[in-house]
């Protein structure tokens, strides 16, 4: 097929004759193995030799069996394992020039001049120093007679690409480091469990989470579980915080709340840089309030366990990007880190990121805490502002005086994270001075008048609840316009926030079309996408999709384990998603599937045949199992049963088959930390937009908004949250199949195929541009998550 000129395809990049080594260094983090797997497989795929360096820099210095060539099968079954299977060690020797000289010798002996380092800022700084010294080290090796001039010439340049593996998310320049999301999963699992016991006994729990110098884990877990108080190193509490905290705890108890949760980062300090420990908080609560108080220190639990779907996808994308960066590197290219900004892979100069990370610590040492927060990046700052907005209720006397009524509702199928979004909307709305109304059971409840005022305390404890507490239906409003308009009039609704899936999108369009007939609908309306299918135009992600991906990934892990035990077995797994192949494709990438059939990428019997042949070949290796995902509506004739029967027949004598339809388990369960956080922040932003629009459209004693931009969808686009008029999204929508016409995640499909050993074409036009670390990236990430 002819390839367009303006696109860059990686087939033009060859790794032939190159050697790449991968190592993990510093503290371990879940997802490191997924990154190692991606580097090894992508390296082999492009024709390079790939080496493992076991035990981090120590292995590089010691050489010998610590540096081993990796084969395709070497990284099988690594994806779902936490920690790092190639080992990590702190290495004092590498900090000396003698140590680095030994390391250089070991690499040159094997012809390795490309290093992929997965670790924290210390590990990456070490790698950069090694690179800067490289030519000097080679000269020294020539002088000592350990290598000849020819070798020094051949291996004269060392290329380095870093990936940040750190559960603390303490590295500037990247939105998420590998391991952070999994650590949040561990914390939230513990908090959810503690909440049930604390509720039984009316207890206060003080939880210490990791983060010696960075409060990200504490802050986001506090946001995700609705903690009463959070203490982090970047924002020491003001003088007199002890009384404020105790007052807040007793107010919550008085407001019928049976438990209190206080989250403390291990590096929490007060404004005099004195540590705040969990024990001192416990003593304070017991002394001042007499509450039954317990301390739980999570410790290394946070580093352990299986990586989340997000971390596997992040690490797989970063690993492939790292190999591309090494293939494209020249002598003049600075050492770079591959990282994530929004949901886009970017390359940044390694030392710029390291310097900025060190500046944060410097600002904190100098008590310039606002600077420290700003330097942490827009994502951190947004989390902090959202937490402040939601956690502490202002007294009524301090609230702005607004006479507006705002209704919030869920529409469509339930999605985990909807309740976090409703809680956030209600609390932000009340903080902005509005009266908030909850509509039960979607548009059906709307026309039946199931509308009541909802207060601050009514939404307490909602963040961790799955499904939809308000109730949600797929009913569309078109048939009931009269009754809905009447209810808008009765309750004097001045704005509408709709949290839901494709029906919510269609519903807002129908209300918009009825504006000519009913003035009641001439009010600001905003939709926040919430559906496991992730099929809403105008948004790369929707609330609920991450939880569903984790459900799919967990199940696939178990199924793979079962298949490994029985050997020579292939599982066909059906996922949800309507016509949208997001769950099947991205779930396939996270679970290490061999194939994923989706509607957006038509396939025929020849493709099915080649997949069977591919699996037959795979059974001859040491990896004697297969995993195939199928989206529920990918093809009306090639059903799950048909594919199961075809594989069973064609694989007879080589492998046997099983099938599994995952069904509604993908919609259930407690929301993942990502969905809680995403729902909370996107909904808060939607409410702030409503407040702004209400002020703009209030004229002569009433709200009147009928312009296109008064009915918007708030979605995540590449790197930012963007409000888009619903009418403008019509062009981008395939209404028959209920999917966007263009979907960003389709470009991740080749990654799954490459990592499953299929030859494929991969468009790398998006990657390869080295960007710079912008202070806070203000313009670009004005609304970043």
Q: Which two tokens stand for residue 291?
A: 């509450």
Three-class DSSP category at 77? coil
Report angle CA 768, 772, 773 to the nearest 5 degrees.
130
DSSP 3-state assignment of 638? Answer: coil
Helix (H, G, I), strand (E, B) or coil at 721: strand
Residue 712 falls in which region: left (phi positive, over 0), alpha (psi -120 to 50) or beta: beta
Q: How far is CA 567 from CA 555, 592, 654, 756, 758, in A?
A: 18, 17, 10, 18, 22
- Tell me which residue of 326, 332, 317, 337 sits closest to 771, measured CA to CA: 337
Distance CA 462, CA 448 (A): 25
| C-alpha to C-alpha distance for 2 and 69, rounded to whole angstroms | 36
DSSP 80: T
CB 442 within 8 A of CB 471: yes
DSSP state letter for 270: -
Cα separation, 324 vs 315, whole angstroms: 14
Q: How far apart are CA 690 and CA 123, in angstroms?
A: 46
CA R_g for the chain:
27
For residue 587, the Cα-to-chain-centroid distance in whole angstroms is 14
Q: Per DSSP, what are the bridge partners of residue 435?
A: 405
User: For residue 751, what are the contacts with CB-CB under 8 A and spacing of at least 6?
Assistant: 38, 316, 317, 320, 589, 762
Taking CA 281 as the corner, what is the angle to CA 280 and CA 286, rounded to the nearest 5 degrees?
100
Q: Is 675 a catalytic residue?
A: no
> How many whole angstroms separate alpha carbon 304 and alpha carbon 82?
6
State whether the Cα torsion 385-388-393-394 is positive or negative: negative
Q: Which of 121, 168, 181, 594 is catalytic?
A: 168
Please identify every residue annotated as catalytic. 168
């Amino acid at each position: 097929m002819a390839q367009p000129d303006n696109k860059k395809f990686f087939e033009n990049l060859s790794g032939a004759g190159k050697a790449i080594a991968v190592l993990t260094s510093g503290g371990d983090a879940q997802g490191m193995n997924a990154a190692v797997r991606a580097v090894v497989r992508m390296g082999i795929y492009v024709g390079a030799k790939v080496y493992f360096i076991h035990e981090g820099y120590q292995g590089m210095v010691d050489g010998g069996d610590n540096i081993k060539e990796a084969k395709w099968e070497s990284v099988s079954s690594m994806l779902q394992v936490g920690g790092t299977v190639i080992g990590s060690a702190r290495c004092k020797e590498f900090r000396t020039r003698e140590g680095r000289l030994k390391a250089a010798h070991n690499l040159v002996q094997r012809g390795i001049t490309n290093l992929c380092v997965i670790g924290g800022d210390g590990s990456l700084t070490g790698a950069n120093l090694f690179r800067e010294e490289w030519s000097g080290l080679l000269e020294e090796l020539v002088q000592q007679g350990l290598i000849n001039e020819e070798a020094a010439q051949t291996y004269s340049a060392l290329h380095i690409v870093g990936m940040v593996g750190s559960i603390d998310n303490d590295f500037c320049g990247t939105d998420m480091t590998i391991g952070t999301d999994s650590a949040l999963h561990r914390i939230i699992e513990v908090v959810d469990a503690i909440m049930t016991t604390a509720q039984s006994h009316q207890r206060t729990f003080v939880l210490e989470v990791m983060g010696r110098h960075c409060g990200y884990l504490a802050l986001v877990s506090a946001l995700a579980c609705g903690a009463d108080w959070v203490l982090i190193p970047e924002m020491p509490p003001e003088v007199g915080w002890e009384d404020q905290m105790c007052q807040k705890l007793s107010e919550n108890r008085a407001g019928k709340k049976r438990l209190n949760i206080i989250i403390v980062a291990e590096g929490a300090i007060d404004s005099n840089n004195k540590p705040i420990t969990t024990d001192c908080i416990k003593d304070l609560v017991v002394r001042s309030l007499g509450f039954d108080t317990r301390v739980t220190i999570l410790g290394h639990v946070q580093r352990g366990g299986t990586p989340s779907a997000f971390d596997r996808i992040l690490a797989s994308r970063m690993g492939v990007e790292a190999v591309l960066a090494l293939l494209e590197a020249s002598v003049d290219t600075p050492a770079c880190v591959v990282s994530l900004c929004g949901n886009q892979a970017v390359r940044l100069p390694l030392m710029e990121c390291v310097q900025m990370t060190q500046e944060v610590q410097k600002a904190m040492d100098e008590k310039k805490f606002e600077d420290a927060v700003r330097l942490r990046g827009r994502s951190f700052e947004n989390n902090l502002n959202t937490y402040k907005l939601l956690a502490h209720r202002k007294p009524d006397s301090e609230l702005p005086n607004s006479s507006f009524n705002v209704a919030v509702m869920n529409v469509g199928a339930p999605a985990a994270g909807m309740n976090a979004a409703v809680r956030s909307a209600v609390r932000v709305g009340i903080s902005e001075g509005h009266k908030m109304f909850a509509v039960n059971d979607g548009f059906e409840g709307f026309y039946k008048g199931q509308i009541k005022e909802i207060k601050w305390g009514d939404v307490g404890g909602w963040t961790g609840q799955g499904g939809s507490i308000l109730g949600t239906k797929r009913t569309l409003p078109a048939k009931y316009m009269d009754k809905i308009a009447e209810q808008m009039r009765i309750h004097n609704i001045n704005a509408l926030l709709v949290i839901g899936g494709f029906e919510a999108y269609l519903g807002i369009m129908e209300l918009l079309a009825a504006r000519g007939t009913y003035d009641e609908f001439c009010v600001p309306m905003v939709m926040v996408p919430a559906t496991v299918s992730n099929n809403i135009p105008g948004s790369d992600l929707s609330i609920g999709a991450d939880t569903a991906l984790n459900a799919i990934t967990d199940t696939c892990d178990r199924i793979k384990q079962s298949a490994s035990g029985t050997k020579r077995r292939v599982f066909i797994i059906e996922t949800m998603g309507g016509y949208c192949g997001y769950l099947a494709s991205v779930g396939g990438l996270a679970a290490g599937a061999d194939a994923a059939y989706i509607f957006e990428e038509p396939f025929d019997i020849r493709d099915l045949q080649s997949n069977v042949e591919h699996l037959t070949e795979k059974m001859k290796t040491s990896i004697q199992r297969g995993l195939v995902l199928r989206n529920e509506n990918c093809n009306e004739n090639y059903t799950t049963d048909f594919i199961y029967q075809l594989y069973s027949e064609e694989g007879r004598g080589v492998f046997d088959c099983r099938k599994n339809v995952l069904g509604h388990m993908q919609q259930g369960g407690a929301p993942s930390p990502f969905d809680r956080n995403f729902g909370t922040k996107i909904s808060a932003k939607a409410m702030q937009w409503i407040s702004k629009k209400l002020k703009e459209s209030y004229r002569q004693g009433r709200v009147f908004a009928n312009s296109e931009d008064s009915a918007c969808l708030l979605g995540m686009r590449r790197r930012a949250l963007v409000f888009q008029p619903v009418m403008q999204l019509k062009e981008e929508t395939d209404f028959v199949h209920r999917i966007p016409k263009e979907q960003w995640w389709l470009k991740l499909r080749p990654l799954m195929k490459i990592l499953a050993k299929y030859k494929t074409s991969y468009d790398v036009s998006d990657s390869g541009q080295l960007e710079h670390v912008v202070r806070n990236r203000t313009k670009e990430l004005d609304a970043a998550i």
